[in-house]
Amino acid sequence: MKLSRILCFAVLSLSLAFSSAQAATVIKIAHPNVPSHPEGQAFELFKTDLEKRSGGAFKVEIYDSSKYGNFDAYVQGLQMGVLQMAAEAPNNFSVFNPKLMLFDMPFIIPDYPSADLITDGPLGQELLTALDKNNILGLGYIEIGFRNVFSSRPVRSLEDAKDLKIRATASKAHIAILKDLGMNPTPVAWGEVYTTLQQKTVDAVDIDLNLAYFNKFHEITKYVTLTRSFYSPHMVCVSKTFWNKLNDQQRAWIKDSFAVMQAFERKTIRENEDMILGKLKESGCEVIELSPAERQRWINATKGVAEQFSSAVPPQTIQAMKDTIAGK
CA torsion angle for 267, 272, 273, 274 (degrees, to 10)? 120
> Given this model, what pLDDT does residue 296 score?
97
The pTM of this model reads 0.89
Angle at 178 between CA 320 and CA 96, to 5 degrees: 60
> Given this model, what pLDDT does residue 328 score?
63
Cβ 298 vs Cβ 181: under 8 Å: yes
> Given this model, what pLDDT does residue 8 score?
46
Domain range annotation of the chain: 10-326
Strand residue runs (E) in the chain: 25-30, 58-63, 85-88, 136-146, 148-151, 165-168, 184-187, 204-207, 223-226, 231-239, 286-289
> Given this model, what pLDDT does residue 226 score?
98
Rounded CA separation 27/19 (Å): 18
Please report the sign of the dihedral spanned by the C-alpha atoms of residue 228, residue 233, residue 234, residue 239: negative
Rounded CA separation 174/25 (Å): 38
Among 106, 115, 104, 99, smallest CA distance to 303 is for 106
> Given this model, what pLDDT does residue 7 score?
43
> Given this model, what pLDDT does residue 118 score?
96
Among 230, 231, 233, 178, smallest CA distance to 204 is for 178
> Given this model, what pLDDT does residue 55 score?
97
Please give the average pLDDT of every successive group of 10 residues along the chain, which has 328 residues: 45 44 87 96 98 98 94 94 96 86 94 96 94 96 97 97 94 93 94 93 96 94 96 97 98 98 98 97 96 97 95 93 90
DSSP 285: P
10-326 CATH, one of 3.50.30.30, 3.40.190.170, 3.30.70.250, 3.50.50.60: 3.40.190.170
